[in-house]
Structure 1
């Protein structure tokens, strides 16, 4: 049996397509992309040797295991590593070579920019002896180390200073800065009222088309420079002068005298084929597709062989693609240029691949969704447009003079005559904000001719701030500043959205959050990575490493020193007033707010001490640890600083969620009395409980009764339906209502709560509320058969205890509570008592909803 060649690519879709091209002598399998990553345990690399500690986890191990099983069969004499043609692809090829134990003899490197038969066969043929570009791998590893060092060291320093988790990124923090600065520019913008004056001719050309001339402020030496929508412009703010000038012209008998006129032929070149950044911008403008979605669709089009490699910063095409375009133009009657257009790229462009182009202009998409087809057609049209003839037009300008009160005012009129639409007749440049040129004719005047004016007007306008950024305009801004790579922009955006640095409105405009403003405030003037020039220079250095012009160690060691100095400067900053410190007696570390993923899929806040790692729950946006919270209210000998007058326990300070006032409540830590019903709530006076002038009700139960009585009186006076409690036969009063879901009824006697479903039945009607039926499924297992007592009594308030949904904890329902008001918050029970509760009849059915 003849030995085959094994080809390893990144994705399964790509593998299937390429195997169909190569035939029986080749086996093509996928690696699943990166098979290893820097460990998340610590810094992830040795700061001296710069060796990265790689790990394989989860799916990575499975992919490698499958590849090793294939190689172990001994059917393959050679392995071709055909990962994507960029830095990341080169790093993937290197990792496969390392993990599979390959060498330069039994393996080689192949790259291709499109998945077509000619491109694949050419790449495989040229792969013989092809080696991995170690310089590209060095550039990728350097970027990875830079990003980890910033993410690890800077995040720790900034988070400790601010008392909350605030991720810092080498590129993503720059994006946050641009958003914050744009928001500040909008907030601080001082709009100025200004006036635009224009005149309309009385007669025009033979077809009686009139024309308009506008007051030229610069030639007339009027106005001032102001900002409008982010750009500088000249405005005229003198309303009285504008009004007087228009009235003078409207009075009649005013002619404009021709000063000069000119005519010249101009041309407009088509836009270049798409690169990654311009594809994102156009896809947003035309299709309203987010960057992440654009990347996904473009990648699938590439893997199916419809377009070239979609991560590129080179706007030019190969001679082969140009020949394909010429042939397509001839068969479709398009005026393709005779010589290929060459577009200028940015200095920082890697130019490793050609532009994003269709591989076959006659291809019909068979697998695609509407979004796939729309994006493909956009790429195809842009490629064709880029090689069409120029748009050619004649532009005529005329300048007129009017003298009023000893001052000369100059008016300018312009006209355009389209000679040839060229590329503009095929499509529109979605990456340009310029207005589209159309025919607007202007007559030819005699030298010194006076023109009679039919009308004049001035328009009152206001200067406007620049618009909020959106994802597309943010990407353009990053690209213009040379920050990051366009292929990573969608990931950057998703990261800062995930970190809650930004939020979007209904129009997808981006606004910075308070967290973002705090990040920028403490980093902008300190960190080098917040300087666009520094970040751009680092991108240039990475390119130089990839080209073998710089050594990665020199770059990294210098970077470490710079960042360490920046971190020390942050530590030296004055701490914010809202910092929280660890409550453990031997620790004064700063508490940092973070989030964890709850079992229900949502995110929850928590706090962690940056010194001792003690964890705290988050309550009302503040840290809370029930085991440590009481310590701050005790003296060193354990006695309460402010004792409860009834039971001797320590009083602790709380903040009311209703009126945001501070009060002192009994903690019950001393357990001096079984009866806590008289333990009152004291008002706060200069940081201590106000024993003398207690302005708050002293008795929970009495206060609750008063509240219920007030609700009952209001309910009885209304025309609303009346119900009685199925437990104690006292009145029910309406409580909270959630439209379309439920309505709550509360008992004024035993404090039981009934939930009446408002969901409509099949007949479109809502179930009639019946307290007795609600009792059966909600209360039967937690109350005695005679409904006069509870089965398991809460030790704090003597109310009825029950289990929550997943039986993870026991909670107090507040029913028949004798010593406090409703839900006392009790959730602790001995294992035996808990088992007893679980064993109750129908407990599964009546768990708290």
Structure 2
């Protein structure tokens, strides 16, 4: 057996990395964290308030793994800690070093992709633990424990008849607030009514009315006040022609494409955030893409060089972009999400790696986004006519791609060419058509757009985005309808109480400022213990006051109409199982009456099949 040990987080990486390092190392997995934050100490927070250190204990489910790691590293000459290159990974690395007692023989290695070159480079360039990064993770963990435990405990006491145990969290509650704020915005929305007029020309060409100056609406110069539109239409009908007054040709470059960071991948993928996260992690562990939990859009020079060679070979030198858009994220030196090998096309990746439909789709959109970001942007030629009918103006435009650029990847269609009019021509109009419209309320968030907003306002980190959205769904604070996130009455109630009780904590600005301070801690600029003490003193004083003054809210019970309990005659209502949040029918006289009925199959079942731990208060 090798006398060197390399420890990774995920067991799914072991086989691939073992192949790259050969017999020089024994590759093992910690299967994530081996320690967890205790629930001992003051208020069960697991924090030593004298030293401001977390009280970490061994995760009981990891006893076997810890023993195997201790046995393997006990006599090892060298232990390489190869956990993920982020705060969590650094914290796991520190816990491994302390638990396995390998402080004097460890090396920390980091890699952004699981490829032979990346692993070999990491092995040849070992590091030590970044204690500032560990301190930032510890601070985040303790802050989240204080806010999460204390506010969740308070909500449990102050919200009755909830379908699940109410909870709160530093980032989770901001995610819920965004959904509730959007719902309030939709409810308060007052539509703007407007009209538009089109001129239907021969061969199905459509010219659009517009104001050359003094528009009715600042939003769009084609909008007409409804009370004026009928008069304009009647005037136009008197002379069903348009006179050509101008023709111009211009060029427009399409926008440059930027590689994926995690939040944009969530937004643009057609699957839920949890599905995308799982797929991207799997592709990373297979060595097909770079580290996916990133807020960076830059790419390494080595990859860019290879990709440019590929584009030149396949599409031609004229398609290779000289300037590339990309930026480093706030946390660490991660790259954008990209394929590890630009020569591995989506078709080949699917075939060689036996990718399922979801993984193939995720790899494809990552590959296409990456290669198109390194290609020259397409150029369009824009053709535009201006017309008049008396005092009224109309326009007709079309475009043609004259250089396809990254459309080589995505494809394109050209619009129908415009007629060959001359200035001064009189063009017959078959019909003038008026449309009455109104503006629509803002769109609700879906998984991806909510994550993008969290990222935009600097709340949370890439590693937590998907789980944050998943939590507010599981807690039944929000529900998904037609792909959009709607706050439930339960979610609204919890949010209202949090905002009223903790207006300085449950805000986007405060939560974003915490992320900034965590970054400062990771850079060694800010003292984490001072930050924690200052937060605790202020938060705890407010918490004690709110505990005394906050009223109890009782959610209305969801009774079933025209049906009573066959055993005692009381009303029936809907309940939820605590674990799976499945809806069922029970008696409102519980626990005196234990009648229940399954909603799906309508079969009555004995209450004994449901332990008291598997049900919750009624909704």
Q: Give the structure-2-normalised TM-score.
A: 0.84
- CA contact under 8 A between 1:309 and 1:353: conserved in structure 2? yes
SS class of match (2:288) = coil
Structure 2 match to 1:780: none
**1:388 lines up with 2:372 in the alignment:** no
SS class of match (1:16) = helix
Structure 1 match to 2:111: 112
Structure 1 match to 2:154: 157
Structure 2 match to 1:547: 523
SS class of match (2:296) = coil
Structure 2 match to 1:67: 69
Distance in 1 separating the partners of 2:48 and 2:314: 60
Structure 2 match to 1:167: 167
Distance in 2 separating the partners of 1:740 and 1:133: 56
SS class of match (1:153) = helix
SS class of match (1:178) = helix
**1:353 lines up with 2:334 in the alignment:** yes
Structure 1 match to 2:8: 9
Distance in 2 separating the partners of 1:488 and 1:153: 20
- CA contact under 8 A between 1:335 and 1:388: conserved in structure 2? no
In the alignment, which of 218, 221, 244 is matched to residue 214 of structure 2? 221
Q: Residues 551 and 412 of structure 1: is their aligned pair in 2 closer, same or farther, counting only changes over 3 Å?
A: farther
Cα offset, 1:441, TM superposition? 4.2
In the alignment, which of 248, 251, 264 is matched to residue 238 of structure 2? 251
**1:422 lines up with 2:398 in the alignment:** no
Distance in 2 separating the partners of 1:390 and 1:484: 33
Structure 2 match to 1:317: 299
Structure 1 match to 2:487: 512
Distance in 2 separating the partners of 1:737 and 1:572: 40
Cα offset, 1:124, TM superposition? 0.6
SS class of match (1:24) = helix
SS class of match (1:537) = helix
Distance in 1 separating the partners of 2:499 and 2:413: 42
Cα offset, 1:566, TM superposition? 4.3
Cα offset, 1:175, TM superposition? 0.9
Distance in 2 separating the partners of 1:155 and 1:214: 56
- CA contact under 8 A between 1:394 and 1:416: conserved in structure 2? yes
**1:306 lines up with 2:288 in the alignment:** yes
Structure 1 match to 2:568: none
Distance in 2 separating the partners of 1:171 and 1:302: 26
Distance in 1 separating the partners of 2:256 and 2:83: 34
Q: 1:779-798 to 2 correspondence within 5 Å? A: none
Q: Residues 249 and 355 of structure 1: is their aligned pair in 2 closer, same or farther, counting only changes over 3 Å?
A: same
SS class of match (2:78) = strand
SS class of match (1:500) = coil
- CA contact under 8 A between 1:528 and 1:566: conserved in structure 2? no
SS class of match (1:415) = strand
- CA contact under 8 A between 1:400 and 1:412: conserved in structure 2? yes
Q: 1:492-531 to 2 correspondence within 5 Å? A: 492-505=468-481, 507-524=482-499, 526-531=502-507
SS class of match (1:530) = coil
Q: Residues 222 and 168 of structure 1: is their aligned pair in 2 closer, same or farther, counting only changes over 3 Å?
A: same
Structure 2 match to 1:148: 145
Structure 1 match to 2:569: none
Q: 1:25-44 to 2 correspondence within 5 Å? A: 25-41=24-40, 42-44=44-46
SS class of match (1:422) = coil
Q: Mark the runs of 5 or more structure 2 residues left unpaired by the alignment.
A: 557-574, 613-619
Structure 2 match to 1:22: 21
Cα offset, 1:450, TM superposition? 6.2
SS class of match (1:516) = helix
Q: Residues 336 and 122 of structure 1: is their aligned pair in 2 closer, same or farther, counting only changes over 3 Å?
A: farther
Structure 2 match to 1:462: 438
Distance in 1 separating the partners of 2:105 and 2:395: 74
Q: 1:387-786 to 2 correspondence within 5 Å? A: 387-403=374-390, 408-427=391-410, 438-439=414-415, 441-442=417-418, 453-505=429-481, 507-524=482-499, 526-568=502-544, 570-571=546-547, 573=549, 575-576=551-552, 578=554, 620=588
Cα offset, 1:442, TM superposition? 4.7
SS class of match (1:195) = strand
- CA contact under 8 A between 2:398 and 2:416: conserved in structure 1? yes
Larger Rg: 1
SS class of match (1:325) = helix
SS class of match (1:426) = helix
Cα offset, 1:468, TM superposition? 2.6
- CA contact under 8 A between 1:83 and 1:93: conserved in structure 2? yes
Structure 2 match to 1:370: 357
- CA contact under 8 A between 2:109 and 2:122: conserved in structure 1? yes
* CA displacement 1:347-399 (0-9 Å, x = unmatched): x6335211111122235332432222222222222211111111101224444
Structure 2 match to 1:82: 82
Distance in 1 separating the partners of 2:213 and 2:548: 55
Q: Residues 19 and 740 of structure 1: is their aligned pair in 2 closer, same or farther, counting only changes over 3 Å?
A: closer
Distance in 1 separating the partners of 2:366 and 2:259: 8
Q: Mark the runs of 5 or more structure 1 residues left unpaired by the alignment.
A: 203-208, 226-231, 429-435, 581-594, 606-617, 627-653, 658-735, 745-754, 756-802, 810-849
- CA contact under 8 A between 2:158 and 2:553: conserved in structure 1? no
Distance in 1 separating the partners of 2:222 and 2:423: 30
Cα offset, 1:152, TM superposition? 1.6
Cα offset, 1:67, TM superposition? 0.7
Structure 1 match to 2:567: none
Q: Give the structure-1-normalised TM-score.
A: 0.62
Structure 1 match to 2:560: none
Distance in 2 separating the partners of 1:413 and 1:9: 61
- CA contact under 8 A between 1:220 and 1:409: conserved in structure 2? no
Distance in 2 separating the partners of 1:395 and 1:807: 68
* CA displacement 1:408-431 (0-9 Å, x = unmatched): 443333332321121123117xxx
Distance in 2 separating the partners of 1:251 and 1:559: 73
Distance in 1 separating the partners of 2:250 and 2:314: 32
Structure 2 match to 1:263: 249
* CA displacement 1:678-698 (0-9 Å, x = unmatched): xxxxxxxxxxxxxxxxxxxxx
Distance in 1 separating the partners of 2:392 and 2:156: 60
Structure 2 match to 1:181: 181
Distance in 1 separating the partners of 2:151 and 2:600: 47
Q: Residues 572 and 438 of structure 1: is their aligned pair in 2 closer, same or farther, counting only changes over 3 Å?
A: farther
Structure 1 match to 2:566: none
Q: Cα RMSD (Å) of the superposition?
A: 3.5
- CA contact under 8 A between 1:336 and 1:387: conserved in structure 2? no
- CA contact under 8 A between 1:201 and 1:455: conserved in structure 2? yes
**1:92 lines up with 2:92 in the alignment:** yes
Structure 2 match to 1:51: 53
Distance in 2 separating the partners of 1:498 and 1:98: 35
Distance in 2 separating the partners of 1:116 and 1:472: 29
SS class of match (2:33) = coil
- CA contact under 8 A between 1:8 and 1:82: conserved in structure 2? yes
Distance in 1 separating the partners of 2:204 and 2:311: 40
Cα offset, 1:509, TM superposition? 2.0
SS class of match (1:280) = helix
SS class of match (2:239) = coil
Distance in 1 separating the partners of 2:124 and 2:414: 52
The size of the alignment, in residue pairs, is 577
